[in-house]
Amino acid sequence: MIKFFRSIRKSLLNENRTGKYLKYAIGEVLLVVIGILIALQINNWNAGQQQSKKNTKLLRNLVSDIKKDIDGFTKVDSVYAIYESNAEKGLHLFYKANTVKDIDSVMQLSQTSWNELFFTSRTYDEMVNSGSMYTLDNEELQQRISAYYTSIYANQRYIREVNTSQRELFVQSKDMYPVFQLLSEFNDPNIGLKLLDTTWINNPNSSTYLAFSHYLNLSQSDNNQYRRRVFRRLLKQAEALKSKIYEEIGD
């Protein structure tokens, strides 16, 4: 083909047909330019197709991560639901308690957990670090994914702050000393329930009563109820994001 074009140019020059030669040369340049542009378009199309396939695979992996989050959030919510229900019963019992055995029952019911918020972000981190997050055609989906993980990280930090502040409150606050004293006596086999001081029970003016009431309400509101709200909110966000990704990839 190249030899063919060269022979035409040579023939035109030999015949001293400069005008036609220039037109032909310009036409040849245009053909080359058009060919290059077509090649670039094909390369761009191929690259776009490859990136689209990569993004689809990443979104499927992201759904897998989100499903793990949903399973984890659901289990934690179930645990905190039990804690919340039992602690509510414990609070009611505490306010009408008359005996040490009643307080013992309150202690059994008033369980909580200071666990952190755990989630899976492997695929999200890969998408951000590789830049694939910003090649998604659906900008709304991109924003939803970012908002989901921003919310998770924010709540994880806040739960850690709550854990730290509560531990400091329980350890450093003089108002909580009667509670620690009571707990130590409860767990001391040499004292036993029968030897415990009972004068504070059902006495709202007692420092032990006030401290214990504060302790129970903090555990219920800041641990059980707050954490339940967090996990239910994240669970709702995870379900919504999963559905949105399914719409995008057509699954």
Sequence spans of domains, the chain = 61-249
CA distance 222 to 231: 13
Measured over the CA atoms of residue 60, residue 61, residue 64 and residue 65, the dihedral's sign is negative
Angle of helix 207-218 relative to helix 18-95, nearest 10 degrees, comes to: 150
Chain centroid offset of residue 201 CA:
44
Distance CA 221, CA 214 (A): 11
Tally Cβ neighbours within 10 Å of residue 6: 10
- DSSP 8-state symbol, 57: H
Q: Where residue 22 falls among pLDDT bands split at 50, 70, 90?
A: low
Question: Once rounded to an integer, what is the mean pLDDT over residues 18-40?
Answer: 63
Q: What are the pLDDT digits (tens) for 97-130? A: 988 888 889 988 988 887 789 999 999 999 999 9
- Across 41-57, average pLDDT: 70
Q: Give the Cα separation of 94 and 106 in Å (integer).
A: 6
The encoded tokens of residue 41 equal: 């378009």
Could you read off the pLDDT of 216-236 as tens digits, one per residue?
A: 998 888 888 988 999 999 999
Which residues are CB-neighbours of 250 under 8 A, at least 6 positions away?
none
- The more confident residue out of 220 and 70 is 70
Q: Which bin fits 202, alpha (ψ -120 to 50), beta or left (φ > 0)? A: left
Higher-pLDDT residue of 4 and 68 is 68
Cα 124 versus chain centre, distance: 10
Token pair of 166 as six digits = 């509560």
The residue among 192, 193, 212 whose CA lies nearest residue 202 is 212
